């Protein structure tokens, strides 16, 4: 039998700050191989990024195929810990260490659940990346491409991110909002404040555009999502002189959007508003943007019902379905199969003295075991 707490401690003791692996995947492979998993180490690199080591492990060859996705990399420890961030100390029932909550303990809980439930009537796999906290270029997206090329088909997936609120299983994430960053640069004509008719001030047009974009309601939300939001993060002119009309002004903003929008529809909206202001004011307006995630929703159905039922059988409580928070690797997996995020409570993730109660690791192990048992007894379609 695999002890989830000992395995979590072994993983935390590897200082796997992205993109370093520091032996974390070796620890995992050593735990999975005796359980019958075929392990594939997938090292990807791309120009301009650092190479990343990933692990795909599969037990069984038949369908249905249940996948657990996660990451062994962690964010830097930072300063001011009262417990060594890589010692994996257990004190007063709490496991301390970088990655204890996000998300090495969940990986350990899943491995222990597989060890407990035994050989499945189908297949179980782990898709573990070392590049979730970093650029996420040489991790999950490349692994999914590799799986497709090998003819590997996943039917359902759980991502073990720390998505719960106060106790494991109180919240399931069935979707996430998308995110786009925009920069808008307005160019006018520089001049003397005493002769403004000889200049073209870019500040009022920028202010007009900011007001229009900020005042526009993108949507009113829906059954599964809060309304989308547009937030300005900076407004810059950088002009120290009191007697000069500047030539240029710029602003930056972020849109967090639900499944009422696509990146394309939002970019078109922003471009339309910018063109209108440029036309009215005679200034040049240039937009640039970077999409850092698209929104997705796994519609409540047989799979979410199975997961919720299994959680309730352990915790006695029906989990909440949520779509809040930042982005996760589920945004890549949703193109391949239905995906739900379920892990520990993440109150201390990325913080100093990150920790998780040992009892919660055991509870999550029970939850994952209940899901696997229910899944292979009666696979959802
Ligand atoms: Zn994470």
Is residue 353 flagged as an active site residue? no
**Average pLDDT value for residue range 148-167:** 96
SS3 363: helix
Question: What does the pLDDT look like over 231-268, one tens digit per residue?
Answer: 999 999 999 999 999 999 999 999 999 999 999 999 99
Ligand 1 centroid distance, CA of 274 (Å): 37
Residue 1 has pLDDT above 90, yes or no: no
User: What's the pTM value of the predicted model, to 2 decimals?
Assistant: 0.87
Residue 88 has pLDDT above 80, yes or no: yes
Residue 352 has pLDDT above 90, yes or no: yes
**Average pLDDT value for residue range 38-45:** 96
Band (293; pLDDT cuts 50, 70, 90): confident
Ligand 1 centroid distance, CA of 131 (Å): 10
Residue 381 has pLDDT above 90, yes or no: no
Is residue 329 flagged as an active site residue? no
Ligand 1 centroid distance, CA of 99 (Å): 8
Ligand 1 centroid distance, CA of 291 (Å): 20
141 vs 123: CA distance, rounded Å: 21
Band (350; pLDDT cuts 50, 70, 90): very high
Catalytic choice (21, 53, 131, 132) = 132
Q: What is the pLDDT of residue 292?
A: 85
Residue 205 has pLDDT above 80, yes or no: yes
Q: Which residues of 323-377 form beta strands (DSSP E)?
A: 339-341, 355-357
Ligand 1 centroid distance, CA of 98 (Å): 11
**Average pLDDT value for residue range 169-195:** 96
Dihedral angle, C-alpha 286, 265, 174, 172, nearest 10 °: 40
Ligand 1 centroid distance, CA of 349 (Å): 8
Q: What is the pLDDT of residue 135?
A: 82
Band (328; pLDDT cuts 50, 70, 90): confident
φ, ψ of residue 113 to 5 degrees: the values are -65, -40
Average pLDDT score over the chain: 96
φ, ψ of residue 232 to 5 degrees: the values are -75, 135
Band (167; pLDDT cuts 50, 70, 90): very high
32 vs 27: CA distance, rounded Å: 9
> Considering only 97-106, 136-145, 202-211, 260-269, which range has the smallest mean pLDDT?
136-145
Band (115; pLDDT cuts 50, 70, 90): very high
316 contacts: CB under 8 Å, gap ≥ 6: none
Q: What is the pLDDT of residue 354?
A: 98
Do 204 and 278 form a contact (C-beta atoms < 8 A)?
A: no
**Average pLDDT value for residue range 77-81:** 96
Q: What is the pLDDT of residue 97?
A: 98
DSSP code, position 350: T
**Average pLDDT value for residue range 69-75:** 97
Ligand 1 centroid distance, CA of 71 (Å): 7
Q: What is the pLDDT of residue 351?
A: 96
Ligand 1 centroid distance, CA of 210 (Å): 34
Catalytic choice (73, 133, 155, 341) = 73
The percent of the chain in helix, strand and coil, each rounded to the nearest 5, is 30, 25, 40
Ligand 1 centroid distance, CA of 102 (Å): 5
């Amino acid at each position: 039998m695999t002890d989830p707490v000992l395995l979590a401690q072994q993983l935390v003791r590897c200082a796997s700050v992205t993109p370093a692996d520091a032996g974390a995947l070796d620890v995992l492979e050593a735990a999975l191989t005796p359980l019958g998993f075929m392990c594939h180490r997938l090292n990807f690199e791309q120009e301009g990024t650092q190479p990343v080591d990933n692990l795909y492990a599969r037990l069984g060859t038949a369908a249905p195929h249940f996948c657990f996705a996660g990451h062994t990399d962690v964010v830097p420890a930072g300063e001011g810990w009262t417990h060594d961030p890589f010692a994996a100390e257990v004190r007063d029932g709490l496991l301390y260490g970088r990655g204890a909550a996000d998300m090495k303990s969940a990986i350990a809980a899943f491995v222990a659940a597989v060890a407990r439930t035994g050989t499945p009537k189908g297949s179980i796999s782990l898709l573990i990346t070392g590049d979730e906290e970093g650029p996420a270029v040489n991790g999950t997206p490349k692994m999914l491409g590799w799986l497709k090329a090998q003819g590997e088909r996943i039917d359902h997936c759980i991502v073990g991110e720390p998505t719960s609120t106060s106790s494991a299983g109180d919240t399931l994430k069935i979707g996430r909002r998308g995110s786009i960053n925009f920069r808008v640069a307005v160019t006018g004509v520089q001049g003397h404040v005493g002769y403004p008719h000889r200049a073209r001030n870019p500040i009022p047009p920028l202010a007009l555009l900011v007001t229009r974009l900020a005042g526009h309601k993108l949507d009113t939300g829906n059954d599964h999502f809060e309304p989308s939001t547009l937030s300005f993060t900076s407004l810059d002119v950088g002009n120290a002189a009191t007697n000069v009309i500047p030539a240029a002004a710029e602003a930056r903003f972020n849109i967090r959007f639900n499944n009422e929008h696509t990146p394309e529809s939002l970019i078109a909206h922003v471009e339309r508003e910018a063109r209108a202001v440029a036309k009215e004011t005679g200034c040049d307006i240039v937009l640039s943007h970077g999409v850092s995630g698209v929104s997705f929703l796994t519609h409540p159905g047989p799979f979410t019902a199975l997961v919720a039922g299994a959680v309730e059988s352990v915790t006695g409580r029906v989990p909440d379905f949520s779509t809040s928070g930042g982005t996760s690797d589920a945004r890549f997996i949703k193109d391949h199969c239905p995906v739900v995020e379920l892990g520990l409570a993440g109150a201390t993730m990325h913080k100093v003295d990150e920790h998780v109660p040992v009892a919660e690791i055991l509870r999550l192990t029970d939850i994952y075991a209940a899901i696997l048992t229910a899944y292979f007894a009666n696979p959802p379609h």
